[in-house]
Amino acid sequence: MGLAHNIVGIIGNVISFGLFLSPVPTFWRICKNKSVEEFQPYPYIATVLNCLMWIFYGLPLVVKDNIFVTTINGVGLIIELIYLAIYYWFANDKKKRVIVFVALLGEVIFMAVIVAISMLALEFKQRALFVGIICDVFNIIMYASPLAVWGKVIRTKSVEYMPFWLSVANFVNGCCWSIYALIQFDLFIIISNGLGAIFGAIQLIIYTYYYFYGKRIANAKEGSEV
């Protein structure tokens, strides 16, 4: 059981690392064009808070034997902050910069409050329950954060601003961490990552449909012009 748990944990770390790196093409485009265009910062803002919460949850002060959760989310936090720094730098709209700054400040304050309540007011078992529930909420928010992009894809019938590899990584990541949690039965990890796998599957279905729909429209236009 312990060996299987460790193996799946390592695989989960590798897949999660891929998830954190999946927006690299998006940010390469932002750097190349020196503009954030229509890309939104919300998925990365949500992921920062999600990483902070899971880092805390994985510490022995909250839950024992969850080092894989802490390590990968520590790496993910650094990567997401780099993304937001790039976004902030190339955001031509002052409003977008304010959103990033205020959101990060709010997350730091929120995290400080959670840590203070957990360590000063709760016993060990209560701490795991309290932090676990909050982690689930924000993990679900992270997985659901592309909802705004789904709406844009459906309205415009274009997948231009829906990163394909992010959708793939969300799906695979949710599946892998659900398996990891089932081995030692961590209900909090199962719930949020199970839903994450479902959200990822929906994203892939939407992407596939509108990718081929867009091609059909483009081919139809070319045919009418000829």
The pTM score is 0.74
The rounded mean pLDDT for the chain is 83
pLDDT at 149: 74
Cα separation, 222 vs 226, whole angstroms: 6
The Cα–Cα gap between 146 and 152 comes to: 10
Residue with tokens 């999946």: 22
Work out the pLDDT band at 48, boundaries 50, 70, 90.
Answer: very high
Please give the distance of CA 25 from its chain centroid, rounded to a whole number.
16
Find the mean pLDDT for residues 2-26.
79
**Residue in the structure block whose two tokens are 């902030």:** 88
In the structure, what pLDDT confidence band is assigned to residue 32 with cuts at 50, 70 and 90?
Answer: very high
Eight-class DSSP state of 146: T
Alpha helices in the chain (DSSP H): 2-21, 24-33, 42-58, 67-90, 94-121, 124-144, 147-156, 164-184, 187-225
Buried b / exposed e along 108-123 (16+ C-beta atoms within 10 A)? eeebeebeeebeeeee
Euclidean distance between the first and the last CA atom of the chain, given in angstroms as a whole number: 64
Task: Output the CA angle 104-106-110, nearest 5 degrees.
Answer: 120
